[in-house]
Structure 1
């Protein structure tokens, strides 16, 4: 009669089976050798290592069987799994329960199976032999079958252990941590608060440099050295897990709190820093995360600990406690980065707005800067100060510039068709300057929309050029050769402004708004901006002041001889239709006069701006 386990026992048995990751794995000679031995000892045509899943018997190894699994219903191995006992059926046709089984229907008459028992008492299935004729089983054969089942379990445990111990550090790995964390959830009191501590051995930049400069054994030496030190530091009887290439995790004992544990961690960290910096040129960091048993799962605890360890890199002690607010901010950034890729492909989320550039001498609009805006489908309006730095540091920087460039040129084409001839500037990132065909892509975009090169200006920051100066200058020279204008954006905030002014093939210098904000009241700022304007113009550049918000600032810039201004004094960034209307209004004599009337006696300067060019 079939023995039926209670649902909880069966659930635990299946959990033990699935944790081994044996189901549906490729054949293994180690298991096949035992199966062949079983068939030979019994002199039978069929033998198998049978694992009992929820609804099937799956054969990890088999002899004399073509199929890899059979239904669990009325399968003798299923009864072995339920009972955990050896089962012998001399003749299936004479057995009240199994005479109607699929095995009997296929011609099997004899069955003997020994249970495959784990150390904690769960039966995974059976080591079984089968025959097409009825037969009896001797005590010696039953003992041999039990020994063969023990050999199978030894092989399973060996395979499992090899998959749970890191080969370099010799410590339990991430899989073992997940299992032990699950056991903790079962054994500890519900909602008990515990601490997880992650040790990160080096920063991503250090690992990248080491991979390029050091031997392959460097990383192994770093890991083995850290593993040895960690074992000594935490003492016997405690487990530390090697969960990623240079990351280790340990669980604090029950009752440990941040107040009692943090001082000890910070003290040991100082020793670790001294060792790591002298021996390995590495900077370890530690992240500590409190978690509630039964609430947080293992993977989420690892993620939070990794986040804290990353934050710790910038801390003086190199130890940081998980911050929910910092984590939420990081997750938002990650979400934005993932969603931005979809925004590039879907219409309706991204759009351009345009901020006018005004000729200070005449008050006329002489250009516009195209600025990207994003209306997220669920988060709403996401400010450029938030998403653009994220995009520029990712692999989406090139795609974002391509989108903006095409949209700006498309808008240019529309404006020209409607009689508005205006130069448009587009911001370019460092990643674009590294593209070998960037200049060709710009030329192709102009040709596609039927536009002259003179209608486009690309803005590049000094910091973007400094990342790889030679490649950047080659790209800029190719762009300048097309006739496209170039502007140095955020001038004054870069690494070597004056040196690069004379090297860059730029037409325009845009003084960063940080120098303009207090210019109407700060004498030092006034002196600095005056020098910037004079020097840039002496080198042949047209000067644009960004962030102009007051008439006093505009008055000073006019007296200093600045060519153009851009800022809220004239207009905030405008939608395309609003910009067109603004241009029409600004062209009226009264409007132009209003822009410049605040400073009588100004001297108009000649403008070296490019003309509208052919349509």
Structure 2
């Protein structure tokens, strides 16, 4: 009994070693075919194969002179070679009681010689074998050559295994193997609809936080434990891939119904939110995509899975399904990000428009906000609401502000030369407040254009300030000390508080248009804007209301003693020449009204 148990365990370990190498049912490879051809030539025999011993079959990774891809394991001499890890020579099948009635014997094979394929741990994977249809003997030099060729096969197996095919942490097939297997699927079943699943164990910030507290070694343990848990959950019949540090992918069983399978994943995810696979509070998310191998390349399948996982992060169930609409939006954002650098250098894609700011008590134009516009050579006019948020969180953020600042100050200088010195407002992003020399670069720009600091106003959102409040405060103090006006933009939509407002060295508060547009809805909305204006005045700020579209809103804001207004009621954002003409006309109307 103990010998049988030992033999069974040895066989399980051998099969485990074979499966881990991920060779079974893979496409032909010239690196293996070259060796089998050499074996056939050395022995001058018509048949040669790299034969791997699976649980119930001999599968041929490479073959010469053989039409079929496998034969039953029972009665196959290569199985004996794998089990014993010894060379086996059968001079004549008809004279060998063990193999005379085997599949090979009945098919006309008379001669066999096989050398074992042995792993470094001593497990026999199968054999490099040569076969003939006539009885034959071998000499010692031929056996030595067969052993050498078998060693070459094993070297190739180890090289292929080591070269990005197995993740060293989990021992699972890697992303490269996943992509290769998808390519094989396209060749074998090109029109078969399949479902791919990606499990992302944690948000990057969670991994960073845990690594900081527990160390990278513990994170590695969690990932290994998670890999085992996922494999148990999906079953041993499905192949699990370790595609990124905390991400695992697999193909759902053939023929599953997408909606039903996604429902089962969602239910499993709900349970997982109660008890993590890893035993830690990691927020895992699942992405799903359906694809047809012929129509969708391996990289596109993986990209769709990544997109689905990102969608899952914003889903209450943390399960996301690939959406072509969402994917198109992501691809467009990526294109905008990629093309913005060349746009900065083109000289004809980016320009500024100017929206006037009106002093409400006098009706005079005392300033203008410089707004960036982009005419993309292929996409046409791109809304700033679309591209500015993308660029603000990219390496181009600082260059974008520099372009706007330089262009706006050049226009301010031209206006001053024409006798119309108004304050030009420029929007500043969080990235600018992180620049160590931002204040210096702004002062240098003013000097280049021979402008006084008071002719420039920098608009900063509350959220930009709060990303790094301490560093932002130092920057704002430096700018204010230089005489540059500062405005808190989109007031009311961010982190507003009394302590926050009274502590900033700003001069202007711009009430966000979302509040102003609701002035006609009721007394509650009016009271809210009135309170914001009163609070800002009490703290010493000048108040600008954005989004003015009606005369009624102007009258209400005047009654609330709001200082300035900006919106379509006065003027839409104007190109440079129309803006200059508008200034002339508006001054004439304002003088007449006075």
- Calculate the TM-score normalised by the size of structure 1: 0.75
**Partner of 2:494: helix, strand, or coil?**
coil
Larger mean CA deviation between 206-215 and 283-292 belongs to 206-215
Could you give the per-residue CA deviations for residues 319-356 of structure 1, whole angstroms, max 9, x where no partner exists? Answer: 12111111111111111111112212221111110000
Which residue is equivalent to 1:321?
321
User: Aligned pair 1:146/2:180, yes or no?
Assistant: no
SS in 2 for 1:218: helix
Q: Report Cα offsets for 1:249-307 as digits up to 9, x if no partner.
A: 11112211113312221222223323338832211111111111322121111110111
Q: Kindly tell me: are residues 192 and 223 of structure 1, through their superposed partners in 2, closer, same or farther at Cα, counting changes over 3 Å?
A: same
Partner of 2:168: 167
Q: State the partner residue of 2:88.
A: none
| Aligned partner of residue 287 in structure 1, secondary structure | strand
C-alpha change, 1:396 and 1:265, in structure 2 (3 Å) is: same
1:366 alignment counterpart: 366
Structure 2 CA distance for aligned equivalents of residues 17 and 382 of structure 1: 51
Report the Cα distance in structure 1 between the residues aligned to 2:298 and 2:553, rounded to whole angstroms: 57
Q: What are the within-5 Å matches in structure 2 for residues 280-429 of structure 1?
A: 280-429=280-429
Provide the residue aligned with 2:41 in structure 1. Answer: 86
Report if the CA contact (8 A) 1:173-1:243 is conserved.
yes
The structural deviation recorded for 1:444 is: 1.1
Cα distance change, pair 418–452 in 1 and its aligned pair in 2 (3 A): same
Q: Is the 8 A contact 1:198 1:247 kept in 2?
A: yes
Deviation at 1:587, TM superposition (A): 0.8
| 1-structure distance, mates of 2:227, 2:389 | 37
Is 1:121 the counterpart of 2:76? The answer is no
**Cross-structure match for 1:272:** 272
Q: Is the contact made by 2:49 and 2:61 (CA closer than 8 Å) also made in structure 1?
A: no
In 1, Cα distance between equivalents of 2:201 and 2:591: 63
> SS in structure 1 opposite 2:61?
coil
- Measured against aligned partners, the alpha-carbon deviations of 1:41-81 in whole angstroms (never above 9, x if no partner) come to xxxxxxxxxx97xxxxxxxxxxxxxxxxxxxxxxxxxxx88
**Deviation digits for residues 216-235 of structure 1 (CA, Å, limit 9, x no counterpart):** 12321221121111111112
Counterpart contact for 1:425–1:459, Cα < 8 Å: yes
Instruction: Please show how residues 546-565 of structure 1 align to structure 2 within 5 Å.
Output: 546-565=546-565
Aligned-partner SS, 2:223: helix
Distance 1:277 1:445 in 2: 56
CA distance in 1, matches of 2:287, 2:314: 12
Distance 2:212 2:407 in 1: 40
Deviation of 1:572 (Å): 0.3
Asked whether the 8 Å contact 1:309–1:320 carries over to 2, the reply is: yes
In 2, Cα distance between equivalents of 1:409 and 1:116: 77
Q: Secondary structure at the match of 1:294?
A: coil
Q: What SS is found at the alignment partner of 1:345? A: helix
Residue deviations 1:523-550 (CA, integer Å, cap 9, x gap): 1121121122222122221111111110
**CA 1:261/1:147 → structure 2, altered by over 3 Å: closer, same or farther?**
same
Contact 2:179 2:299 in 1 (8 A): yes
Q: Once the 2 structures are TM-superposed, how far is the Cα of residue 420 of structure 1 from its aligned partner?
A: 2.5
Superimposed CA distance per residue, residues 547-593 of structure 1 (whole angstroms, 9 cap, x where no aligned partner): 111000000111111111100000000011111111111111x3455
Conserved? CA contact 2:222–2:278, under 8 Å? no
Structure 1 gaps, min length 5: 1-12, 21-50, 53-79, 90-113, 124-137, 597-615
Secondary structure in 2 matching 1:369: strand
* Cα offset, 1:318, TM superposition: 1.3
Aligned to 2:422, what secondary structure does the other structure show? coil
Q: Give the superposition deviation at 1:143.
A: 2.5
For 1:420 and 1:82, the matched residues in 2 are separated by 88
Partners in 2 of 1:262 and 1:184 — Cα distance? 22
1:16 to 29, 32, 51: 29
Q: Secondary structure at the match of 1:279?
A: coil
What residue is the counterpart of 2:489 in the other structure?
489
Q: Is the contact made by 1:362 and 1:592 (CA closer than 8 Å) also made in structure 2?
A: no
Deviations 1:158-185, CA, capped at 9 Å, x for gaps: 1212231111112111122122222222
Residues 201, 285 of structure 1: 8 Å contact kept: yes
- Aligned counterparts of 2:344 and 2:50: Cα–Cα separation in 1: 55
Partner Cα separation in structure 1 for residue 255 and residue 466 of structure 2:
52
Q: Deviation digits for residues 90-131 of structure 1, max 9, x if unmatched?
A: xxxxxxxxxxxxxxxxxxxxxxxx9996852168xxxxxxxx
Moved more, 476-485 or 449-458: 449-458
1:197–1:492 CA distance, 2 compared to 1 (3 A): same
How far apart, CA to CA, are the structure 2 residues paired with 1:289 and 1:159?
32
Distance 2:529 2:448 in 1: 40
Whole-angstrom CA distance in 2 between matches of 1:593 and 1:361: 15
**Mapped partners of 2:363, 2:321: distance in 1:** 55
8 A Cα contact 1:462 1:497, kept in partner: no
CA RMSD of aligned residues (A): 2.6
2:203 counterpart residue number: 203
Could you tell me which residue of structure 2 aligns to residue 260 of structure 1? 260
TM-score (norm 2): 0.77
Return closer, same or farther for 1:577/1:487 CA change in 2, 3 Å cut-off. same
Cα gap change, 1:287/1:593 in structure 2, threshold over 3 Å: closer, same or farther?
Answer: farther
Matched residue, 1:186: 187
Structure-1 separation of matches of 2:156 and 2:355: 69
Q: CA deviation at 1:416?
A: 2.3
For the residues of structure 2 that align with 1:277 and 1:161, how far apart are their CA atoms? 28
How far is the alpha carbon of 1:520 from its aligned partner?
Answer: 3.3
